């Protein structure tokens, strides 16, 4: 016993120790953050203000995290706005970032308070750290207060000339935001944009394309002087930039360049084979070729969006004979994920319908697996159906036969339909298609049966010769009892009526007795009448039609006529007004035949009315009932209308807002003059001298330059002249500047810059700056909002003042970005 007690005590003690240990280490192991999102901790709001006002960074951070967690839970935390904003100039980057996240979400709730922080951001725009400069601009442009639009526009302009491509990228991305805020700043923004267009850093150029698409998508003429350089830069831009750039350049090419020689004008394209155009004589526009050769290597990108963008470019721009090359890369995407597969297939479907020959060699890769998701199965089916030719019909028929036992009913009915398509497109296999379809009628699956009946019906209508005699209809009719699917029943009744005329009689105009119809037809009518009461309306309507047809074809067959009359009397009192209406219509039509279908039902005023109308003779009635049936077209089965590759509306089938922005214009009648695109850039620049830009991959010699970044960075004299610097606005062709400035000149120019613009601080000074600045802010912000607001205002003016002279900033150069540019150039 004693031992037991002891053991129990020891256990309890150890648990205690463990608990307290856990308590102490909780901060380390878990820091308890998960509870921020979970707990319904309203009581903790009490100390939240204390945390935010705390002097300890750790507590501030904790408070901010709680605030962010509350935002996540859709709690209203605007009460803390002022306290949070106070921390906007914290030296701790993590705190700042959380404040930024908060600010961006709540700025529109408290615009006045948000303005308090603007002062800080303007200071941050001159920070030495590119990360801080970029973040400041991003937050500044993200504050949705229209009154600061001019400040934002000016800040963007300043950042557009920044030395760091990352900041320039942020500047480009801020342009659409500013434009949304206040459209009146468009001229200034356009000016900034054209500065950015000259940017030679591949890092930022993609964002410039985004900005261009957002604020002036139609001003493609602005791209003339940049077109060739942008083409060459595509391969080096970041992946997302590549997509945007390709889209922009593709639109440009469609608007400004001349049509490739073997692509015919749209009006011919519909019927004629585009390969046989008359423009054989003239060559592919070299500018177009440049775009295509620069884009093609990107088919090997790891990013599916890039592959699709290149495919779109090739598909819409390349000569027909060169289009094939994007098919395999697109097929590669099918393996990446089911989401990507689903979207890619939809694009391949467009290709399959427009030029099936491109996909036929790879057809077996599009076979449907039982594990595919429904949407994938459907699209694959559409593609396979579009690819049927007499050559592959045998194989495809075997595939389709496998699909009709799939667990997905949509696929089953599509597959059955496709078997019908095989029969139409490949006469050789039509007999096996027919036997497959007739087999399916005995299937236990309603859906397959219905689809088979429909397929047989349309086959019979399209090619009566194909189905031969009436035996298809007869065999369908013999299964009438076993088929319960309403659509299939209705369809059979229609077919029986339509093809009831005895084949022996051919086109005998006036049938007089039962010989005029197939012997089994009255029996089907009997069955239809028998089940009339329980059938759905769609079947009832067809039963009436059948009755009318039999009535007019065999007026002398007593039993049939009685059946028909019975059907009409049933229909007259049907619950569905469509059925009643159809009965009335048909009986009026038949009024002149054999004393009318309603005779013997007792005369009422309706019959009297009918006597006064026009009464058709029997041949006329036959004409009305039997002729003019158009074979159904299967176009409507799936929404068609070839759409553009790489769009959302292709997937959803519904046009999206603003999709005209992405639509490609038609080729112009004549391309614009290529001299428009001639620039000074075309004369070999130091870095672009190698022509082999079309393949990415930077040469070994360039890598040699950068294997020791420290050493290059510590030789500040090796500055490239302003002319080839990324931010240089106008290339000055006349001045053949030396590549390297000597030291004296460098310092001289540095002084110039410094004297022209006081705000421009050299890197070394900025290193020491942050400390003092943060204290400044701490004193200005917070306790007296009014004074701070006025302070912010004056500072704004102070910032605006030097703007006109800022052109000189273009002389500002930076070795870091140049180095990076050179590195990326994979010549």
- Please give the residues from 294 up to 333 whose contact with another protein meets the rule CB under 8 A: 297, 300-309, 328-329, 331-333
Instruction: Please identify, using beta-carbon distances, which residue of 240 and 626 lies nearer to another protein.
Output: 240
Interface pattern 667-706 for another protein (x via CB under 8 A)? -------------------------x--xxxx-x--xx-x
Instruction: Please identify, using beta-carbon distances, which residue of 130 and 522 lies nearer to another protein.
Output: 130
Instruction: Please identify, using beta-carbon distances, which residue of 243 and 495 lies nearer to another protein.
Output: 243
22 binds another protein (CB under 8 A): no
Q: Reduce the DSSP state of residue 735 to 3 states and report it.
A: coil
Instruction: Please identify, using beta-carbon distances, which residue of 461 and 696 lies nearer to another protein.
Output: 696
Instruction: Please identify, using beta-carbon distances, which residue of 181 and 290 lies nearer to another protein.
Output: 181
707 binds another protein (CB under 8 A): yes
Instruction: Please identify, using beta-carbon distances, which residue of 207 and 720 lies nearer to another protein.
Output: 207
**Rounded to an integer, what distance in angstroms lies between the CA atom of residue 758 and that of residue 799?**
10
To another protein, the closest distance from the beta carbon of 32 in angstroms equals 9
339 binds another protein (CB under 8 A): yes
Instruction: Please identify, using beta-carbon distances, which residue of 241 and 522 lies nearer to another protein.
Output: 241
Instruction: Please identify, using beta-carbon distances, which residue of 327 and 621 lies nearer to another protein.
Output: 327
Which of these, 564, 606, 551, 566, lies nearest to 584 by C-alpha position?
606
Q: Return all residues near 635 (Cβ < 8 A) that are at least 6 apart.
A: none
715 binds another protein (CB under 8 A): no
C-alpha angle 644-632-496 in degrees, rounded to nearest 5: 155
243 binds another protein (CB under 8 A): yes
Instruction: Please identify, using beta-carbon distances, which residue of 300 and 787 lies nearer to another protein.
Output: 300
Interface pattern 429-448 for another protein (x via CB under 8 A)? ---------------xx---
802 binds another protein (CB under 8 A): no
761 binds another protein (CB under 8 A): no
**Rounded to an integer, what distance in angstroms lies between the CA atom of residue 532 and that of residue 239?**
65
Instruction: Please identify, using beta-carbon distances, which residue of 118 and 583 lies nearer to another protein.
Output: 118
Instruction: Please identify, using beta-carbon distances, which residue of 207 and 542 lies nearer to another protein.
Output: 207
Which residues inside 94-113 make contact with another protein, applying CB under 8 A?
94-95, 97-98, 100-101, 104-105
SS (H, E, C) 41-106: CCCCHHHHHHHHHCCCHHHHHHHHHHHHHHHHCCCCCHHHHHHHHHHHHCCCHHHHHHHHHHHHHH
251 binds another protein (CB under 8 A): no
Query: What is the length of the chain?
Result: 827
To another protein, the closest distance from the beta carbon of 38 in angstroms equals 7
651 binds another protein (CB under 8 A): yes
Interface pattern 200-229 for another protein (x via CB under 8 A)? ---x---x--x-------------------
Instruction: Please identify, using beta-carbon distances, which residue of 14 and 72 lies nearer to another protein.
Output: 72
Among 44, 45, 53, 142, binds another protein (CB under 8 A): 142
Instruction: Please identify, using beta-carbon distances, which residue of 127 and 574 lies nearer to another protein.
Output: 127
Which residues inside 370-399 make contact with another protein, applying CB under 8 A?
370-371, 373-375, 398-399
Instruction: Please identify, using beta-carbon distances, which residue of 166 and 687 lies nearer to another protein.
Output: 166
820 binds another protein (CB under 8 A): yes
To another protein, the closest distance from the beta carbon of 383 in angstroms equals 14
Among 200, 255, 565, 662, binds another protein (CB under 8 A): 662
Among 2-10, 53-61, 498-506, 547-555, which window interacts with another protein (CB under 8 A)?
53-61
Among 117-125, 138-146, 226-234, 773-781, which window interacts with another protein (CB under 8 A)?
138-146
Instruction: Please identify, using beta-carbon distances, which residue of 123 and 312 lies nearer to another protein.
Output: 312
Burial string for 649-677 (b: 16+ CB within 10 Å, else e) reads: ebeeeeeeeeeeebebeebeeebbebeeb
Among 20, 49, 72, 389, binds another protein (CB under 8 A): 72
Residues pairing with 176 in the sheet: none
**Rounded to an integer, what distance in angstroms lies between the CA atom of residue 58 and that of residue 35?**
17
Of the CA atoms within 13 Å of residue 714, those in its CB half-sphere come to 4
**Rounded to an integer, what distance in angstroms lies between the CA atom of residue 233 and that of residue 256?**
19
Rg, C-alpha atoms of the chain:
39
Instruction: Please identify, using beta-carbon distances, which residue of 333 and 553 lies nearer to another protein.
Output: 333
Among 363-371, 559-567, 568-576, 801-809, which window interacts with another protein (CB under 8 A)?
363-371
To another protein, the closest distance from the beta carbon of 478 in angstroms equals 22
**Rounded to an integer, what distance in angstroms lies between the CA atom of residue 664 and that of residue 292?**
16
Among 127, 162, 238, 262, binds another protein (CB under 8 A): 238
Size of the site for another protein (CB under 8 A): 126
579 binds another protein (CB under 8 A): no
83 binds another protein (CB under 8 A): no
Interface pattern 762-791 for another protein (x via CB under 8 A)? ------------------------------
652 binds another protein (CB under 8 A): yes
Q: Return all residues near 820 (Cβ < 8 A) that are at least 6 apart.
A: 165, 201, 203
126 binds another protein (CB under 8 A): no
695 near 296, Cβ under 8 Å? no
Residue position matching structure tokens 């006109």: 804
Long-range CB pairs of 687-690, under 8 A, 24+ apart, other chains included: 687/724, 687/821, 687/822, 687/825, 687/827, 688/232, 688/825, 688/827, 689/827, 690/827
To another protein, the closest distance from the beta carbon of 380 in angstroms equals 12
To another protein, the closest distance from the beta carbon of 19 in angstroms equals 19
Interface pattern 618-647 for another protein (x via CB under 8 A)? ----------------------------xx
Burial class for 243, CB neighbours closer than 10 Å (0-12, 13-18, 19+): buried
Q: Reduce the DSSP state of residue 501 to 3 states and report it.
A: strand
Tokens in use for 590? 């038949």
**Rounded to an integer, what distance in angstroms lies between the CA atom of residue 518 and that of residue 546?**
13
**Rounded to an integer, what distance in angstroms lies between the CA atom of residue 734 and that of residue 694?**
29
Q: Return all residues near 572 (Cβ < 8 A) that are at least 6 apart.
A: 580, 583, 584, 601
52 binds another protein (CB under 8 A): no
Which residues inside 457-516 make contact with another protein, applying CB under 8 A?
none
DSSP string for residues in 356-424 = GGGTGGGGGGGPPPTTS-HHHHHHHHHHHHHT--TTTHHHHHHHHHHHTT-S-HHHHHHHHHHHHHHHH
**Torsion sign over Cα 108, 114, 119, 124:** negative
To another protein, the closest distance from the beta carbon of 415 in angstroms equals 11
Which residues inside 160-179 make contact with another protein, applying CB under 8 A?
164, 166, 169-170, 173, 176-177
716 binds another protein (CB under 8 A): no
- The Cα-based distances of 165 to 26, 417, 447, 697 in angstroms read 42, 57, 60, 21
**Rounded to an integer, what distance in angstroms lies between the CA atom of residue 542 and that of residue 496?**
10
């Amino acid at each position: 016993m004693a031992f037991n007690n002891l053991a129990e005590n020891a256990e309890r003690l150890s648990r205690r120790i463990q608990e307290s240990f856990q308590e102490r280490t909780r901060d380390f192991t878990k820091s308890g953050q998960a509870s921020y999102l979970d707990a319904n901790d309203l009581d903790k709001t009490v100390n939240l203000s204390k945390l935010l006002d705390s002097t300890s960074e750790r507590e501030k951070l904790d408070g901010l995290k709680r605030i962010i967690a509350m935002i996540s839970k859709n709690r209203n935390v605007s009460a803390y706005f002022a306290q949070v904003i106070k921390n906007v100039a914290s030296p701790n980057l993590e705190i700042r970032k959380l404040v930024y996240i908060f600010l961006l979400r709540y700025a529109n709730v408290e615009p006045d308070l948000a303005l308090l922080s603007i002062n800080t951001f303007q200071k941050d725009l001159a920070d030495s750290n590119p990360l801080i400069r970029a973040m400041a601009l991003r937050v500044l442009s993200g504050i949705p207060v229209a009154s600061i639009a001019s400040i934002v526009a000016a800040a963007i302009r300043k950042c557009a000339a920044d030395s760091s491509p990352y900041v320039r990228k942020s500047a480009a991305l801020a342009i659409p935001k500013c434009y949304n805020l206040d459209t009146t700043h468009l001229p200034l923004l356009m000016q900034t944009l054209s500065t950015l267009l000259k940017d030679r850093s591949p890092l930022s150029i993609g964002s410039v394309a985004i900005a261009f698409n957002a604020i002036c998508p139609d001003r493609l003429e602005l791209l003339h002087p940049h077109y060739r350089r942008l083409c060459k830069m595509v391969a080096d831009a970041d992946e997302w930039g590549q997509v945007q750039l390709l889209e922009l350049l593709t639109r440009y090419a469609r608007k400004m360049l001349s049509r490739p020689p073997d692509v015919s004008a749209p009006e011919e394209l519909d019927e004629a084979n585009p390969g046989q155009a008359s423009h054989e004589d003239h060559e592919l526009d070299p500018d177009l070729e440049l775009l295509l050769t620069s884009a093609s290597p990107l088919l090997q990108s790891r990013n599916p969006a890039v592959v699709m963008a290149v495919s779109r470019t090739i598909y819409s721009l390349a000569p027909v004979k060169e289009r094939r090359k994007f098919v395999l890369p697109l097929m590669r995407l099918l393996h990446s994920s089911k989401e990507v597969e689903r979207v890619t297939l939809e694009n391949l479907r467009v290709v399959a319908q427009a030029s099936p020959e491109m996909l036929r060699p790879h057809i077996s890769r599009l076979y449907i697996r039982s594990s595919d998701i429904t949407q994938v199965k459907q699209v694959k089916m559409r593609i396979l159906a579009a690819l049927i030719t007499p050559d592959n019909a045998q194989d495809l028929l075997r595939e389709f036969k496998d699909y009709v036992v799939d667990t997905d009913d949509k696929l089953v009915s599509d597959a059955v339909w496709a078997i019908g398509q095989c029969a139409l497109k490949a006469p050789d296999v039509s007999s096996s298609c027919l036997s497959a379809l007739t087999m399916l009628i005995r299937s236990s699956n309603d859906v397959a049966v219905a689809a088979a009946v429909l397929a047989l019906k349309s086959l019979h209508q399209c090619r009566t010769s194909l189905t031969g005699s009436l035996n298809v209809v007869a065999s369908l009719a013999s299964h009438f009892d076993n088929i319960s699917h309403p659509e299939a029943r209705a369809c059979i009744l229609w077919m029986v009526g339509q093809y009831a005329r005895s084949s022996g009689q051919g086109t005998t105009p006036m049938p007089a007795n039962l010989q005029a119809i197939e012997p089994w037809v009255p029996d089907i009518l009997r069955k239809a009448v028998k089940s009339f009461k329980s059938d759905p309306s769609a079947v009832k309507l067809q039963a009436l039609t059948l009755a009318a047809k039999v009535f007019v074809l065999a007026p002398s067959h007593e039993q049939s006529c009685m059946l028909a009359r019975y059907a009409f009397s049933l229909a007259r009192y049907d619950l569905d007004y469509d059925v009643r209406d159809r009965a009335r219509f048909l009986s009026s039509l038949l009024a002149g035949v054999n004393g009318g279908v309603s005779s013997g039902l007792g005369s009422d005023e309706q019959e009297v009315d009918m006597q006064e109308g026009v009464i058709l003779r029997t041949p006329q009635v036959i004409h009305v009932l039997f002729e003019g049936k158009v074979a159904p077209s299967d176009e409507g089965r799936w929404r068609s209308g070839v759409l553009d590759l790489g769009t959302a509306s292709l997937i959803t089938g519904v046009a999206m807002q603003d999709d005209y922005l992405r639509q490609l214009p038609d080729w112009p009648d004549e391309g614009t003059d290529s001299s428009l695109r001639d620039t000074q850039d075309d004369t070999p620049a130091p870095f672009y001298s190698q022509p082999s830009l079309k393949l990415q991959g930077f040469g070994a010699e360039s890598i040699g330059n950068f294997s020791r970044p420290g050493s290059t960075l510590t030789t500040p004299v090796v500055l490239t002249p302003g002319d080839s610097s990324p931010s240089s606005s106008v290339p000055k062709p006349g001045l053949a500047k030396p590549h390297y400035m000597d030291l004296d000149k460098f310092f001289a120019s540095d002084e110039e810059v410094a004297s022209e613009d006081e705000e421009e601080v050299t890197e070394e000074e900025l290193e020491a700056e942050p400390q003092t600045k943060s204290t400044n802010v701490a004193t200005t912000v917070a306790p007296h909002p009014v004074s701070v607001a006025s302070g912010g205002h004056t500072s704004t003016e102070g910032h605006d003042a030097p703007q006109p002279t800022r052109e000189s900033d273009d002389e500002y150069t930076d070795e870091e970005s140049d180095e990076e540019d050179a590195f990326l150039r994979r010549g």
